[in-house]
Chains A and B, each alone.
Chain A
């Protein structure tokens, strides 16, 4: 990815994660209404109310956004973002709000693939080990 476009994507995605975290902290009860019924049942085993899980999610979003913004551990923040958004799309489903998470997931995935250290790119290692035909 071009250096400037990578940083624009990093800062834009970071702002989105950070702002969503703050909005969830503003109204965790309201956000918990979006969780599918079966996930609410599962969460009920671990926490008295689903809003507790939402508050933890908000702090995770804020941490991901902060590290993306400052450009430190960007690939780890992007990896956590990808896992988190995949989970969100699974437990909330695709509705009028979460449909935008597909774009956010793609952004986080692009950042992850671009910033991941070479030693963790197992697919390129395999290609390098393969003898040229």
Chain B
């Protein structure tokens, strides 16, 4: 249960972070940059979306998917029981995809934009933390 609770908590933090960024973007207000002053430079760069979908929305969907898939594994109800293995594999693929996206955004901040954004780094840390949890526990229900 512990790895699922940890995944859930980290994904929930991600949900609150990305929803904050979405709200600020929709309101046309710059988000608070907790550490440093380069958040706006990164968030307003041409790399702030993928295929026309803003990165904050992609992040929200990623964290929501982790919560729904992880929640399905924990609930273990009759509806999802035949699909548990598929859900587990899909959850791992989603987290792997998130790590890939975070890695590419990390590279863009480091080498291309040459500025660091607190919220983007926090998202990268939470995503890699989720990958680390999956790697060391293999999502076993303890």
Binding site for B on A (CB under 8 A): 7, 10-11, 14-15, 18-19, 22-23, 25-26, 65, 69-72
A14 near B16 with CB under 8 A, answer: yes
A69 near B12 with CB under 8 A, answer: yes
| B65 CB, min distance to chain A CBs, angstroms | 14
**Distance in angstroms between the alpha carbons of A23 and B6 in the assembled complex:** 14
B116 within 8 A of A: no
Binding site for A on B (CB under 8 A): 5, 8-9, 12-13, 15-16, 19-20, 23, 67, 71, 74-77
A22 near B74 with CB under 8 A, answer: yes
Interface class of chain A by DSSP: helix
B74 near A14 with CB under 8 A, answer: no
| B133 CB, min distance to chain A CBs, angstroms | 16
Most buried by A among B9, B13, B16, B20: B16
B16 near A22 with CB under 8 A, answer: no
Q: Which residue of B lies closest to A4 (CB)?
A: B34
8 contacts between A and B (CB under 8 A): A11-B12, A15-B9, A18-B67, A22-B74, A69-B16, A69-B19, A71-B20, A72-B19
Most buried by B among A26, A70, A71: A70
